[in-house]
Amino acid sequence: MALTSLPGALRLSTSGMRSPLSIRLAMLWLVAVLAIGIFAPLLAPHDYLHQSPLERFLQPWFLGGTPTHLFGTDYLGRDVLSNLLMATRTSLVVAILGSLICALLGTALGFTAAHFGGTVDNLIMGFSDAMASVPFIIFALAVLAFFGSDPLIFIGLVGVASWERYARLTRGLVLDAATNGYAEAVRITGAAPLRIYLRHILPNIIGPLVVQLTINFPEIILLESGLSFLGLGIQPPLTSLGLMVAEGRDYVAIAWWLCALPGIVILLTTLAVSLAGDHLRDRFDARLR
């Protein structure tokens, strides 16, 4: 009886491992965005800085425009598609670097707080409380207004956004893991604390950290877009999705695609990352399995 039911059980297990259509579409979109980030200069049909005042506000091809400019042109006659590809690349680089800096900084501080405890723990957690109590965009506006919007300063700034979430999450997970038998068993064998944390505890808490990363990633994209929209983020001659929205907002009545197209990219990218993060959490979190 058990042997006859085995194929059905295998089919059920296999079907349960298949990703929903929404997840597959999200992954496909993220792969496409990543490819754009890598190959944007090769994919761009025109130089995104090239201006042609005689070709201002050409409509996209789906509105009756010409195939020469598939997504039309902007107020300076620049090709919108080329700008969109380069802007996606810039926003993606800022979001990836910012997310990695934030994750590494917060995770390291979380491990430090859990390891030393006492005064060190209180200082780190107290500082994280202070950071969480002030809206980060206010802090970002103050820093950028004082130091200027240099790209490296901007990436470093978004890299400290929400680090306190990683620190608190890591600290709690490490303290919880330290009470489990496997961590104590490794400690008894004489393993160094760094080895215990990196080789044994970190792999078991990576699931929630990945989920936090996927939550933080779209937030950084939106933060970059918002700051660029306010004129304190990426500055010309560079371009970004937020800067494209900011430049196109004055021409919504006559060229709505200048705002709509980068806005759609921002929306779909943040949604895809959120869906992918939920899926990765279900796959990698051992407690859910």
Domains and CATH numbers, the chain: 21-50+76-284 (1.10.3720.10)
**In terms of pLDDT, which residue wins out, 190 or 233?**
233
Give percent of the chain above pLDDT 70. 89
**pLDDT confidence band for 133 (50 / 70 / 90):** confident
124 touches 131 (CB < 8 A): no
Rg value, the chain, Cα: 23
Spatial separation of the C-alpha atoms in residues 48 and 248, rounded to whole Å: 15
What's the pLDDT tens digit per position in 205-262?
Answer: 887 888 888 888 888 888 888 888 887 888 888 899 988 998 898 898 899 999 999 9
By three-state DSSP, how is residue 64 classified?
Answer: coil
29 touches 272 (CB < 8 A): yes
What's the pLDDT tens digit per position in 43-80?
Answer: 999 999 999 988 999 999 988 888 889 999 999 999 99
Say whether pTM exceeds 0.85: no
